[in-house]
Every structure is written in C-alpha cells, then in structure tokens.
Amino acid sequence: MPVFRDLEIKLDTKAVFDRLMGGRAQKWQQAIEEAEAEAQTLIHPAIAYDVHAVVGVEESRLIVDGGKALESPVVASLFGRAPEVVLMVFTIGPQLEARVAEYDRANDYPARFALDVVGSVAVNQVGEVGYRLIEGMARERDVKASIPLNPGTSHWPMSGQHIIAELVPAAEIGVEATESELLRPNKTIAFAVALGSDVLTPAEGSSCDYCERRDLCGAVTAQ
C-alpha cells in the first residue's frame, strides 16, 4: 500500500480563473499572483493507494477482495470485466484551507477566493500525477488503465469515499473520512481506476459522460 509525499507539481491557474470569470481574470491578476506565491508554502501533496482484485460484480456494485463494495452501477458496468482496480486518495494537506479560513474571517474575499481556486487546481494536478502512476502500473502489467471514477457523482454516492479511505493507507497521509462521508482535509479527492485489457480509457471516453450533474460543473472541481 504505497504512499507518496511532497510531489512536485507546477501551478498554472490563470486559464482556470479566466474560464471561471468569463474572461475577466486580468482584473484579478494581482490576487492570482499573490495566491500562487503563497500557495507554494501551503501545499503538501500526498498520495495513498492500493490495488485490489475484483472478485464479483452485481448490477449496481463492484465487489473487491475483502468483501468491500463500490456502490455504483457505472463502476460495476465499466470495471466489472477488469481483474483489478486501483483505489487512490490524494490531497494537498490542511494548511491551505486553514489559510483560506483566515481570509474568510478577515472578510478578505479576493484573497480567499483566489487561494481557494489555486488549491482546487493544485489537488487536481496531484490527481494527474496519481493517474500517471497508475498508467505506469498498467504498462508493467501489459494492460490498460481505465478512466477514473470518483464518489460524489450522480451514480456513486459520497459514502464511497469512506470505503476507499478504508481500503488505502489514507491515515498515513493525514486523510480521514468523517461521519458525514466527507474527506478531511477538504482539498482531498478519492477515485478508482480499473486495470485490464477491456476497459474504457481516457482516449475513448470520460467520467463526465456518465454523470448527470456534468452541466453544473465549473472549470475546476471544487473540493
């Protein structure tokens, strides 16, 4: 059950701000630059994952070794023919969100908003690093890596986060699942990727194709 810490990521948030603001990011240029600079000392990327054998599939859930179930009809459908699934949790740690809370208490909206978006971009970039690790595993096994699917979509309830956190060494990177099924720190994401010869790859599709809430998403997945 490997754990990776202090991964190198490169923040590039200007295009994201521009999409969020309808092309008005230039007005926020100073806040963006200050947020990116401050984030360098607040972001501590970490990844925890484990590989589990698929031992059964039902109409609306995928069973992995140990008897745990990923309760999603889409996961069952897309991953059901794969022999293995990689479960992963990744985070940037708690320091950035603590600083965002300080800005919130000080009613400094520009600084709060800019730093929060930078944090969301950062955690997504950690996920990209994690997915590349999974692609490397797939190549070693001479199989393919599927599209990632994560709890909190229309087909997979948030309770799936708790299951994934149980099945990977999440505590070793400072991540816990709350009673309300959320992951803490806030800037943390969990996902699953199937490994097999007959899986849907990112070149062939996207997790958004299976989510009924895709029209509500912005340029950045808020966490």
Contact 161, 152 (CB under 8 A): yes
Domain boundaries, the chain: 3-216
Do 87 and 168 form a contact (C-beta atoms < 8 A)?
A: yes
Q: The whole model's pTM is what?
A: 0.88
**Rounded Cα gap, residues 190 and 152, in angstroms:** 10
Residues contacting residue 167 through CB under 8 Å, at least 6 positions apart? 50, 52, 64, 66, 68, 87
Residue 219: Cβ-neighbour burial (10 angstroms; 0-12, 13-18, 19+): middle
57 beta partners: 62
Task: Return the ∠ at Cα 131 (arms to 129 and 137), rounded to 5°.
Answer: 110
Omega prior to 83 cis, within 30 of 0: no
Architecture of domain 3-216: 3-Layer(aba) Sandwich (3.40)
Q: What is the pLDDT along the chain (223 residues), one digit of tens a residue?
A: 677 677 777 777 766 776 666 656 677 778 888 898 999 999 999 999 999 999 999 989 999 998 999 999 999 999 999 999 999 999 999 999 999 999 999 999 989 998 999 999 999 999 999 999 999 999 999 999 999 999 988 889 998 999 999 999 999 999 999 888 889 999 999 999 999 999 999 999 888 877 776 665 543 443 3
- CA atoms lying within 13 Å on the CB side of residue 40: 8
SS3 (DSSP) at 20:
helix
Distance of alpha carbon 202 from alpha carbon 214, whole angstroms: 16
